[in-house]
Amino acid sequence: MPRVSILLTCYNHRSYLAEALDSIRKQTFRDVEIIALDDGSTDGSREFLSAQTDLDQVIFNQQNLGTYATLNVGLRHAKGELIAIFNDDDLWHPEKLEKQVALLEQHPQVGLVHTDGSFIDGQGRVFEGAPLGFTFPKTETGDVVLALLDANKIIASAALVRRSCFDQLGGFNEGYFGSGDWEMWLRIAEKYEVGFVPEKLTFYRVHGANASHKLEHIWRDDEKLREWIAERTPSYSQRGYDPDQLRRAIAHNWACLGTVRALNGKPGAARAAYRASLKLDPQRWKSRLRILTTFLPISVQKRLL
């Protein structure tokens, strides 16, 4: 039985696929199986994968299922006690898995470990600054629930997860377009500590075909996720957090929900969310201003929010 199952998700990134596979093959941790999961590619990726003789499994979806349904297919086929997710346009440092496995061995209370990393362009050059509007996501090691209320702090290709987490909590929610990993990480963080390797071992490629560029899908996802979080936050008062930190984190979630509701053309619901945020944290002056923007035309709101 392999120690690590690598779920290589593929969809129309043939130009990056060989380099991605090469970075898997160069891993210093060798007790792995590679499961390639092609989600209906039409650019030659399927033919390329079929020609690779060292892949343990190659699974071709008959139609495009989406990221999270494809990952769940991989989970059903994986034999390893640890699950690594690897998008076919990203890259790994050779020591990435080795250092993550070591952390999990040392900390049995950790269910997921991720790494620091860098954004790279289509040619593999490291971006300076924040090409997607934010720096490479990261957390500290420990209880990261409140950090995940702020934003998704874990890049999927940076994650290594104990199989037992999925066995206990279920797989990815297939109803999401691009935020299903965030939802999964939060479910894991509620039950386990999250580990972090503070080394740049994961390289997330930024290019024109990234799912993260499809903003309207992401806004709908974020609204669904922020509403799901709002339903869960009352239980967090039992986790022993500092009351002020928890209050501000919940207020932040309501404010973010207000913004995505506004972006999704729901001004009344947006105002209700902003007011819920202000009730918890009256110092959120941006929420007061954003309530006013909800009375403007949606085209103007999208420029201002």
pLDDT of the chain, 305 residues: tens digit per residue: 899 999 999 999 999 999 999 999 999 999 999 999 999 999 999 999 999 999 999 999 988 999 999 999 999 999 999 999 999 999 999 999 999 999 999 999 999 999 999 999 989 999 987 888 889 999 999 999 999 999 999 999 999 999 999 999 999 999 999 999 999 999 999 999 999 999 999 999 998 655 445 778 889 999 999 999 999 999 999 999 999 999 999 999 999 999 999 999 999 999 999 999 999 999 999 999 999 999 888 777 777 77
Residue 160's H or E segment, with its range, is strand 160-162
Burial 238-255 (b: 16+ CB within 10 A, else e): eeeeeeeebebbbbbbbb
Same domain as 253, residue 193: no
Same domain as 245, residue 172: no
Same domain as 140, residue 273: no
- What is d(CA 166, CA 74) in angstroms, rounded to the nearest whole number? 12
Same domain as 82, residue 15: yes
Report yes or no: 84 and 6 within 8 Å, Cβ to Cβ: yes
Q: Residue 258: which residues within 8 A CB-CB, separation 6 or more?
A: 270, 271, 272, 273, 274, 277, 287, 290, 291
Same domain as 207, residue 222: no
Same domain as 248, residue 142: no
The CATH number assigned to the domain holding 226 equals: 1.25.40
The residue out of 156, 180, 213 marking a domain boundary is 213
The domain tally of the chain equals: 2
The CATH number assigned to the domain holding 52 equals: 3.90.550.10
Residue 172 has, within 13 A of its CA and on its CB side, a CA count of 25
Note down the domain range covering 234: 215-304
Same domain as 100, residue 73: yes
Q: Residue 192: which residues within 8 A CB-CB, separation 6 or more?
A: 109, 110, 111, 112, 162, 165
Backbone angles phi, psi at 295, to 5 degrees: -90, -5
Same domain as 232, residue 209: no
